[in-house]
Amino acid sequence: MPVILGPDGRVLLERVTLAMTIDQVRWFLEADAFLRHVSQLWTLKLKLVCLRCWRQGLADTIHVTFNESHQAYQAVCECAKVPGRLPRAMIQQMATDECLRRLGWSFACTSRCASLGLADGVEASNDPASALVVIRCGCTDRSYRFPSTGGVQ
């Protein structure tokens, strides 16, 4: 079992491993699926943050809703003068990481990273050889192993 060590080498606690579903994996691959499910990131102990707000010391939370009549996502954060409008047709052409990079957004851990003094940054890896997707922060591994038949269906 992986552990988290303190500066003195003592075991602080065991790392948490969360199993992801294939639908949750799609959130991190397809920007449209991701924006539809931003409100469910808590199930993976993650939150979406605006890096511009964070740098300015503002509340870094982003609220995303979908406007059916305009077929566009509406994004609101503290640093935006007006809510951002993200046309679904444009979002459907992007991968999630590209969408996040363009918008200046990132993920943060909502589990134990802050209370343990760990960096709450989140990184992802996709290993085709082992068919394993892992989203990791200082305290938690979120993982999904594709069936032996291949990738996302």
pLDDT digits (tens, 9 = 90+) for 110-145: 888 877 777 667 888 887 788 888 898 888 889 998
- Quote the DSSP letter at residue 91: H
pLDDT digits (tens, 9 = 90+) for 48-104: 999 999 899 999 889 999 999 999 999 999 988 667 789 999 999 999 999 999 999
pLDDT digits (tens, 9 = 90+) for 13-53: 677 888 999 999 999 889 999 999 999 999 999 999 999 99
Pure H helices in 5-151: 22-27, 31-36, 51-55, 88-91, 96-103, 113-116
Domain boundaries, the chain: 3-145
